[in-house]
Structure formats: structure tokens, C-alpha cells
């Protein structure tokens, strides 16, 4: 893996991770955006899209409501799609499935990272509290930037470690035969699993008319395009 | 009159309202950071008391922070101009709006607009246009998002405390329900395409439809997605291995 590629991957990954909660929130942090974009970067947009679609569906029902911290589908998407960029050997359907399977734990790790960042923010907020009490407003405006810098540092460290370890290991793996087929089916079936999961979590079954209408539109699209 | 560069500078800072999100006071640092340019303009060197006022607990949906910022900015001006009830109104407005707008924003943006935009992108990607999928998602999601921010900030400032009545007139819960129905339509529109995508070969198609049906029946609310995925991976690997041992599969 080229050092420069790794550096760009970590920088791009960190930027989209910040978009998830801390800054701007244009939702470039969604897997359905990250997957195709990183796929274009790897020269395989459809494979990137397959990864993005799978992860988008899998975590669509996990919402950041109140103080609840959901798994980080962003970190998992950056990890999986980033591996397609970093390891050319993974640019097959089976390889993309393997990359997704390897990156999935990043979603849970990402939740822990988000909690860690929020706890660190608590310390910064405490310092702001002290400044307000002391009547010193000179450094207050630095607080959000300090929090951003810390979060960026943590995301960058996690991503760098992941790409170095997983990238190095997966570059040595030759996926063929039934394993490649199995990982291909895994990736292709993941959106179905995700749709079932988000349908249960978002309570999609409460709107049967919309579901039936949507199903008919989907069938129509299938007839026209497939 | 605050509708100047200072106001829009504050508005831009609301894009960082969650930068220092913490479990104790949530977006307090972000909101204080956003409103500081307004406080500096309104109160000049005498801004400590106002800063303390906005260092308290604050949490709302981030896209609705600008409307609160605008209204509070207007009330800070009123307070500086000697309106006696303005300070009480500032606290009441923040407390009253942040919770309700937080709930409305969660159901409108996170639970409805985001999945709706995502399903559109997924449909485009599955049909072979991943680039268009990205563009569609970013446009469909961000045009309403940015409009809510920009129009919200301007309306909040223009209306001050009256913004509560104006917000009530926009039936956000009804809008969220309609968008959610659209999101569901989008999700189910993606279902046949994903099933086809899973099994482009005719002999596997019945199996894919069966798999989708089983998943819809089996998967229950609240099961962690990662655990589900690894369960599914284990089943896939085991099935592929058994098929391979039985001699059914030799190539990718």
C-alpha cells in the first residue's frame, strides 16, 4: 500500500467522519455517498456502491436521537470502501464482500470512539464553564475547534491503524472458489438483511399502502430497466 | 439591526453547533460559539452576562439551531434596548423550542428525509448509476436541509418571540409523517431491485425471494445490525462450504 494513498484515505475518511456529527452535517458521511465516491477512486464505482448500499441499509434504522450514540456506519463504510482503494486484489464482488465483513466491527468500535470523543468534549465544556465563571472570554471561541481537532485526531488514528493492519493482511489473501462466491453472496444479500432490519426498527410496516405502492414502483423499474 | 455580516457569521457558526457535543450540557458550547458574534455586536464589552446565559444546557436538532439563534439574537437586541421581558423570553424561548424542534427534526430529517434520499440513491446505484445516486442523495437531502437553516435563521430574527407561532403554523409532524410514507415507498421500491441484484441468474431468483421473505419475518426490532450481519455471514459461509463439499460450486 502506497504511503500517499494511505495518507489521502485517512484524510478523506477523517473529513467525512467529522461530517457525521461534529461539523456541517451535509450527510456526505452516509455509506451510500462514501461507497460510490471511494469506488470511483478505486476505479470500481459499482463495487463501491455495493458496499455503500449494503451498509446504508444495515444501519438505516439506527438514529442519533437525543444522547443515544448509534454504531458508526460512516467509519465502517470508510473502512470497507477504503480497502477497495488501498488493496487492488479486493476489487471483485467477493473481495468487496470480504472488505465489508472486515470493516463491520468498525461500526461498533466507532460507537465507542464517538462516546470517547463526547466524554472528552465534556472536559472542554467544563473548561468553558470555568472561563465563564472567571469572566475570561478570550479563549472561549477556541473550544469547538479544540474539540474538532481532538475528534479528527482520534478518527485519523483509528483509520490509519485499520488501513495499515487490514490492508497489509488482506493484500496477502487470495480469495477464490467457494469463499469468493460466499463473500459475493454475503455482500449482495446484506441490503436485503438491512432492509428487513430497518423495516422493523423504523416501523415501516405501519404504512402498508406506501409499502405496496413502493413495491409496485420497484417492480415497474425492474421491468423497464433490468 | 443585526441582519448584517455579523448575523450571517453567527449563522455559519451554527454548522459547528455539535462540534463540542457533550453528555452533560450537550450543544451548549456550540450554541455559545455561534451566538458570540451577535452578543459582541449587541453588548460590546458588556457581554459576560449574556455569554453566561448561553453557556447553559442546550440541545436541539442541529438544523433547527439557526431558527433559535435568529430569534434569540433578536431578543438580545430587545433586551439591550430596554425591553423588560426580553430576558425571561430568551430563556423561555430556548427551553420551549429546543425540545420540540429537536423531536421534530429527528423525525423529519433523521427518520424520514434521510432514508427517503438514501433509498433514491440506492435505486439509482442498483440500476447502474452510482454517481447519479450520490448526486440525487446530496441534492434531495441538502436542498430542504439548507433551506430550513437559512430561512429558519432569517425568520427567527425577523419574528423574535413570535417565531413560536410561525413554527406552529408549519405542520412539521404531518410533514414528517408524509415524508416517512415516501421513505417507506422508496425502501420497498428498492426491494425488487435488490432481490434481482442478489440473484441475476434465473435459477437463483426464487432463492433470493425466499431469503428476502424469511428475513422480513425473522428479523425483529432492536437486533443489532452488526450481529445480524455476522450471523448472515456465518450462514452464507457454511452454506457455500457445504455446497462446495457436495460438488455444486467450483468457480466464482
Helices in B22-129 by DSSP H: which ranges? 28-43, 48-53, 65-80, 86-105, 114-126
Q: How near does any CA of chain A get to the CA of B49, in Å? A: 9
Give yes or no for residue A163 having a pLDDT over 90: yes
Q: How near does any CA of chain B get to the CA of A168, in Å? A: 23
Q: Could you give the CA distance from residue A179 to residue B252 in angstroms, rounded to a whole number?
A: 8
The model scores a pTM over 0.95: no
What pLDDT, on a 0 to 100 scale, did the predictor assign at position B235? 87
Neighboring chain A residues of B190 at a CB cutoff of 8 Å: 191, 195, 218
Instruction: Count how many Cα atoms sit within 13 Å of the Cα of residue B237 in the half-sphere of its side chain.
Output: 11
pLDDT grade, residue A120 (50/70/90)?
A: very high
Q: Could you give the CA distance from residue A180 to residue A95 in angstroms, rounded to a whole number?
A: 7
Neighboring chain A residues of B12 at a CB cutoff of 8 Å: none
What pLDDT, on a 0 to 100 scale, did the predictor assign at position B252? 45
State pLDDT tens for residues A40-66: 999 999 999 999 999 998 888 788 877
User: A18, A117, A131, A185: best mutation site toward chain B, by most B Cβ within 10 Å?
Assistant: A185
Q: Calculate ∠ Cα B190-B194-B198, nearest 5°.
A: 175
**Residue of B181, B233, B244 with shortest CB distance to A210:** B181
* Residues 179-198 (B) with a CB less than 8 A from some CB of A: 180-198
Burial of B84 (0-12, 13-18, 19+ CB in 10 A): exposed
**Residue of A49, A181, A210 with shortest CB distance to B240:** A181
Neighboring chain B residues of A182 at a CB cutoff of 8 Å: 236-237, 239-241
Q: How far is CA A98 from CA A27, A34, A102, A175, B12, in A?
A: 26, 17, 6, 9, 41
State pLDDT tens for residues B136-170: 999 999 999 999 999 999 999 999 999 999 998 98
What pLDDT, on a 0 to 100 scale, did the predictor assign at position B77? 93
Q: What ipTM score was computed for the predicted complex, to two decimals?
A: 0.93
Q: How far apart are the first and last CA of chain A?
A: 37
Neighboring chain B residues of A179 at a CB cutoff of 8 Å: 237, 240
Q: Do A182 and B21 make contact, defined as CB atoms within 8 angstroms? A: no
Amino acid at each position: 500500500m502506497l504511503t500517499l494513498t494511505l495518507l489521502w484515505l485517512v484524510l478523506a475518511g477523517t473529513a467525512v467522519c467529522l461530517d457525521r456529527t461534529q461539523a456541517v452535517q451535509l450527510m456526505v458521511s452516509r455509506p451510500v455517498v462514501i461507497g460510490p465516491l471511494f469506488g470511483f477512486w478505486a476505479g470500481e464505482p459499482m463495487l463501491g456502491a455495493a458496499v455503500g448500499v449494503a451498509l446504508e441499509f444495515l444501519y438505516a434504522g439506527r438514529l442519533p436521537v437525543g444522547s443515544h450514540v448509534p454504531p458508526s456506519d460512516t467509519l465502517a463504510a470508510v473502512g470497507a470502501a477504503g480497502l477497495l482503494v488501498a488493496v487492488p486484489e479486493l476489487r471483485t464482488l467477493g473481495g468487496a464482500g470480504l472488505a465489508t465483513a472486515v470493516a463491520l466491527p468498525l461500526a461498533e468500535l466507532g460507537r465507542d470512539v464517538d462516546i470517547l470523543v463526547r466524554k472528552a468534549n465534556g472536559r472542554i465544556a467544563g473548561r468553558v464553564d470555568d472561563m465563564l465563571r472567571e469572566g475570561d472570554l478570550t479563549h472561549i471561541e477556541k473550544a469547538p475547534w479544540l474539540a474538532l481537532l481532538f475528534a479528527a485526531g482520534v478518527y485519523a488514528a483509528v483509520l490509519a491503524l485499520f488501513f495499515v493492519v487490514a490492508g497489509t493482511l488482506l493484500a496477502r489473501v487470495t480469495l477464490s472458489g467457494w469463499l469468493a462466491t460466499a463473500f459475493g453472496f454475503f455482500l449482495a444479500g446484506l441490503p436485503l438483511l438491512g432492509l428487513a432490519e430497518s423495516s422493523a426498527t423504523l416501523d415501516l410496516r405501519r404504512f402498508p399502502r406506501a409499502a405496496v405502492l413502493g413495491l409496485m414502483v420497484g417492480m415497474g423499474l425492474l421491468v423497464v430497466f433490468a | 439591526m443585526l441582519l448584517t455580516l455579523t448575523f450571517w457569521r453567527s449563522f455559519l457558526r451554527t454548522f459547528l453547533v455539535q462540534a463540542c457535543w457533550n453528555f452533560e450540557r450537550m450543544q451548549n458550547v456550540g450554541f455559545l460559539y455561534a451566538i458570540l458574534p451577535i452578543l459582541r455586536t449587541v453588548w460590546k464589552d458588556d457581554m459576560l452576562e449574556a455569554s453566561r446565559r448561553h453557556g447553559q444546557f442546550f440541545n436541539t436538532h442541529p438544523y433547527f439551531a439557526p431558527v433559535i439563534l435568529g430569534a434569540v439574537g433578536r431578543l438580545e437586541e430587545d433586551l439591550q434596548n430596554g425591553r423588560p421581558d426580553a430576558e425571561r423570553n430568551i430563556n423561555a424561548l430556548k427551553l420551549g423550542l429546543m425540545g420540540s424542534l429537536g423531536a421534530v427534526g429527528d423525525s423529519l430529517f433523521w427518520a424520514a428525509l434521510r432514508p427517503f434520499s438514501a433509498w433514491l440513491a440506492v435505486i439509482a446505484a442498483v440500476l447502474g448509476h452510482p454517481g447519479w445516486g450520490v448526486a440525487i442523495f446530496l441534492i434531495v437531502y441538502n436542498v430542504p436541509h439548507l433551506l430550513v437553516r437559512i430561512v429558519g435563521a432569517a425568520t427567527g430574527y425577523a419574528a423574535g418571540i413570535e417565531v413560536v407561532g410561525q413554527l406552529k403554523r408549519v405542520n412539521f409532524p404531518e410533514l414528517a409523517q408524509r415524508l416517512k410514507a415516501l421513505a417507506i415507498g422508496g425502501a420497498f421500491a428498492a426491494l425488487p431491485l435488490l432481490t434481482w441484484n442478489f440473484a441475476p441468474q434465473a435459477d437463483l431468483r426464487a432463492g433470493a425471494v425466499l431469503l428476502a421473505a424469511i428475513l422480513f419475518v425473522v428479523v425483529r426490532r432492536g437486533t443489532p445490525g452488526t450481529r445480524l450481519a455476522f450471523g448472515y455471514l456465518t450462514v452464507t459461509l457454511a452454506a457455500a462450504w457445504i455446497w462446495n463439499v457436495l460438488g455444486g460450486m467450483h468457480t466464482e
